Amino acid sequence: MDLKAIKDILKHGGGKIVIVEEDRPTFVVFTFEEYLKEIGKVESSPRRVEPAAEESSAEELTIEDLPI
């Protein structure tokens, strides 16, 4: 099973994947959102990183500014 198949199961199946070794569950794979719920840190919405605003006082560079 490849990563895309695992992600599809998690996304569309809405569940968790339990990895079993020697008839015992050893790992559980689930979404990061589910992980946050499990540890009690639920975020209401995903964070977005906004691009840094350009400084209005910055001068425009010209070819003469290059160190050649």
Beta bridge partners of 27: 19
What pTM was computed for the model?
0.45
Which residues, 6+ apart, have CB-to-CB distance to 37 below 8 Å? none
Q: Decide: 19 and 30 in contact? Cβ < 8 Å.
A: no
- Which burial class, exposed, middle or buried, applies to 31 when counting CB atoms under 10 A from its CB (0-12, 13-18, 19+)? middle
Reported as a single tens digit per residue, the pLDDT across 7-54 is 887 887 667 888 899 999 998 888 888 888 888 876 555 566 566 655
CA distance 22 to 37: 29
Dump pLDDT digits (tens) for 19-29.
899 999 998 88
